Amino acid sequence: MQRFILSKKHHIALVSALLIIIGFTSELGFHQERIAEWSLAIASVLGVAPIAIQAYQALRVKVVSIDVLVTIAVIGAFLLRNFEESSIVTFLFLFGAFLEQRTLHKTRSAIKELTEMAPESAWKQMAGGEFEEVGLDAVDVGDILLVKTGAKVPVDGIVLAGEGHVNEASITGEAAAVAKEQDSRVFAGTIVENGTLRIVAERVGEDTTFGRIIELVEEAQDSKSEAERFIDRFSRYYTPAVLVLAAIVWLVSRDVELAITILVLGCPGALVIGVPVSHVAGIGNGARHGVLLKGSEVIHDFSKVDTIVFDKTGTLTIGNPKVADIEFYVQQQQSALEYLASVEKESDHPLAKAIVEHLGEVRTYPVGTTEVVKGGGIIAEVDGHTIAVGNLALMEHAHVQVPERAKEAMARFAGRGDSLVLTAVDGELCVLMGIRDQIRPNVKEDLGRLKKMGVKHLVVLSGDNQGTVDLVARELGLTEAHGHMLPQDKSAYIKKLQAERRIVAFVGDGVNDSPSLALAEIGIAMGSGTDVAIETSDIVLMNSDFSRLPHALGLAKATANNMKQNIAIAIGVVLVLLFSVFFSEWMNMSVGMLVHEASILVVILNGMRLLRYGRRKS
């Protein structure tokens, strides 16, 4: 019976409203006081039923809830035959709960949108080679799936065949379609806008990046910050205190109506709901913008950060070295490049890959005997010639003369932060290349935004040489730069900053920087859903877009401020109501409940403003 009544709360509120209208119409319009009295009395009994059940359930677990205060107040008003106030109070309380539920539902819309993006079926290749539509629970790792135009990618996987463009907004927050071809990685929940892809499943179900994003955001929205835990503790003592205050007022004044009015006015509803709604809306906004904030405590700590430490490679820079400078010292430039490409295609070194990518489609030759010189490079036989590719130490080892103008160019390239690669053919220097990682586009502007938000210290730590790190720091306007840093050195440096009482956030790629991500107050991973990034960090920028970092910090500050605003509104309203009951003649139960419910809506609507944060900027 209790469950049935609680399930019909909204219907009871509607019936109560009709009975109240009948009651006041009968009394004011037709002077039928008997009908009015019965209508309002029935409305009071109907309205208090679900409230009383909730109060009873709370008392069973030794909690004096808001429902207990309202139930006692309504029963008191009913016994005093003040049916107008008892009926209006119950209706306003139920109607407020209805509006509260509806508006809170909107703050969780980001999660609803995410879950609606989840695919429900897949076209799976069967034993005979044909494709058949099956439920997702029938898809296993290693299965081959077909995804057509307009369909959702059902799993995380690798493209085996086909080409197309995929909308990855559910993962990255960016609606721009991304080109996919053979060997490209695709994620569950993304949508193929055009083309047809045949993929092999790597992760299925809850193990996919999309599944884990939903899980983590839901966990974050259900988590509680220290502020929320404090308010829970406060309410546990505050609500009984209101009961005691009402009892004291009754004992002193012998005015029962005044005592039960205090019960209604002292309800801390807006205080209880104000912080959670800000929390939920802030995390929902982050989910929409490709920023995964793991809980309310993360928001609180991040909003106070005064120092952000960056790993260089893959964070401030793209993490993909490119040929930036090149000089030739022979006439036969094309043949020298062909020999260079032949040697570098045999290597997996990042610099070799950068050179091969830069040279593109050039003629290559079979590579004969090779000699790898540790810390220098490689010497190989190509098309009857001896080719040496490496640094200055290798040239000295191979007795290659380096002309003066080449030495000047090397100094110039090194001054720009280049890694140097020299190529000699048959003992003659032919090519000098400067290779460096490229700074991410618009990073300098994004760092400027962080400074404007109150971040005082921007620090870069890198395993690269100090000269290169200094160049990056000067170009980006960072406050500190430290090179030759191993992972344990980075962790030690973060401990040093924390010892100086700085609140530190560390931004890394989520793979090599796991110790630092875990050690800092806030670990921020640049990564498209990598395992280590999601598990180790507190915040994940799902599309590795650096511009999301200022958005995340601004959102954290806005959310923290919004929580404070809601607390101030809630406490202010309660104080004004309690003051008014003693020092004004217009305050009564009905007006108090109306103001009380209005304050709940105000804090909810204030929290919902966070859903629109950054809309113009992103």
- Residues marked active site are found at 311
Distance CA 524, CA 141 (A): 30
144 strand-pairing partners: 200
Contact 212, 118 (CB under 8 A): no
Specify which residues 135 forms β-bridges with. Answer: 121
Spatial contact of 416 and 445, defined as CB atoms under 8 Å apart: no
Cα 547 off chain centre by: 13
Distance, CA of 473 to CA of 481 (rounded, Å): 6
- Please state, in angstroms and rounded to a whole number, the distance separating the CA atoms of residues 371 and 397: 12
197-210 CB burial, b ≥16 within 10 A, e <16: bbbebebbeeebbb
Q: Residue 174: phi, psi to the nearest 5?
A: -105, 130
Torsion of CA 237, 242, 246, 252, to 10 degrees: 70
Contact between 117 and 152 under an 8 Å Cβ cutoff? The reply is yes
- Residue 122 bridge partners (DSSP): 134
Strand-pairing partners, residue 158, are 185, 200
Is 34 exposed, middle or buried (CB count within 10 Å of its CB: 0-12, 13-18, 19+)? exposed
Taking a C-beta distance cutoff of 8 angstroms, is the pair 410, 329 a contact?
no
Edge-to-edge strand list for the sheet holding 377-382: 322-328, 428-436, 419-425, 385-390, 377-382, 367-373
> In terms of residues, how long is the chain?
618
Calpha distance 383→332 (Å, rounded): 15
